[in-house]
Copies of this chain bind each other. A is one copy, B any other.
Amino acid sequence: MLPEAVLLQAQQEMLDWQGTGMSVMELGHRGEAFQRVAAETESDLRDILAVPAHYKLLFLAGGASTQFAMVPLNLLANNSAADYIDTGIWSKKAIGEARRYGDVNIASQRVTRDGWAAIPPQAEWSLNPKAAYVHYTANETIEGIAFPYIPTTGDVPLVVDMTSSILSAPLDVSRFGIIYAGAQKNLGQAGITLVIVREDLIRDPLPFTPTLFSYKVEAENHSFYNTPPTYAWYMMGLVAKWVKREGGLAEFAKRTQRKSTKLYSYIDSNADFYRNTVHPTYRSCINIPFNLVNEALTETFLIEAAAAGLTNLKGHKLAGGIRASMYNAMPEAGVDALVTFMQAFALKYG
């Protein structure tokens, strides 16, 4: 989902970007015009996220799955040990790719305790103090489980996949070695990934790394080693300006909190009909999966919801059930409409 204001601006500028008579799609990436798009996007994102000066921003083709390979390829050249926290499907994908390049230790894993899905507290993790890095997934979109804190890993660099949660709340970038986020959730359109990398982690990668997969090459070339996804970069810039106009990350944290609280409160107070099984401490405020206690009603729920204009509620194929997402572009009225529908549905079938 994208903010309407952003789509309207993209629409208006489609054939003529700022009086150039050209679409952003037609701007040469090395030309003065696109350089401005690129530089403004970076400076707006640095501003919003309060990125310290010793971090580089990279704008790379592809999605987060590309980073599943780039992280180990770039960080395991001198030390092949990596710690991963396994909290769900996305963690597992990152782990699968990392195992191809190094010795992966699963330092902790999602558990079910007293019927609740949870992330074990850090005291229970088996971190390797000599690991090249610790990787975790801030928010698991499919299971609806998220970290309510930033892990503490001492001198071991912390790497995080923030594809689904970036720009949803203020962030202390200085706690991380690398933050990466595919753009298609809160940063614009699919096909580009933002990577925020601490300068001391930019080193020679494993020798067989494709040139374009080297953070060093990309950083030295300001993400212009080859033609970058220019239009997706531009869209990210429009989104960044929209986030600023709307009040920045503190404002989006409030909105996300309000939206998710509304839905969780309703679900929890109607536990005979709807159920979310993630422990409240570890619940995602971005992706809220839930089930109908009478699972036979799921299909009916989805059909009637769609008829009421509520689409994209089907749970991931690996999880089933229902899932509502609270990305920045989703207005509060959308949650209100969903809760209203859920009330009527429970009344009708309860």
Give A residues with C-beta under 8 Å from B: 1-2, 4, 7-8, 10-11, 14-15, 23, 25-26, 28-29, 61-66, 68-70, 73, 96-97, 100-101, 182, 184, 188-192, 206, 208, 210-213, 225-232, 235, 312
Contacts and interface: CB of A to CB of B under 8 A. Distances in A.
Contacts of A226: 62-66
5 contacts: A4-B15, A62-B226, A189-B229, A190-B228, A190-B230
B2 A8 contact: no
Across the A-B interface, give the 10 residue pairs with the lowest CB-CB distance, nearest first.
A191-B229, A65-B226, A69-B210, A11-B14, A61-B62, A25-B189, A190-B227, A191-B191, A208-B208, A63-B227
A174 B7 CA distance: 42
A7 B14 contact: yes
Given A8-B15, A25-B235, A189-B230, 6 more contacts: A7-B14, A25-B190, A100-B208, A101-B208, A190-B229, A232-B232
A114 to B, nearest CB: 34
Contacts of A235: 25
A339 to B, nearest CB: 21
Nearest to A16: B7
A28 B327 CA distance: 14
B61 A63 contact: yes
Contacts of A212: 62, 65-66, 69
Contact of A232 (B65, B97, B101, B191): B191
A11 B9 CA distance: 10
A182 B230 CA distance: 13
A68 B312 CA distance: 38
A68 B212 CA distance: 10
B8 A231 contact: no
A189 B225 CA distance: 17
A28 B312 contact: yes
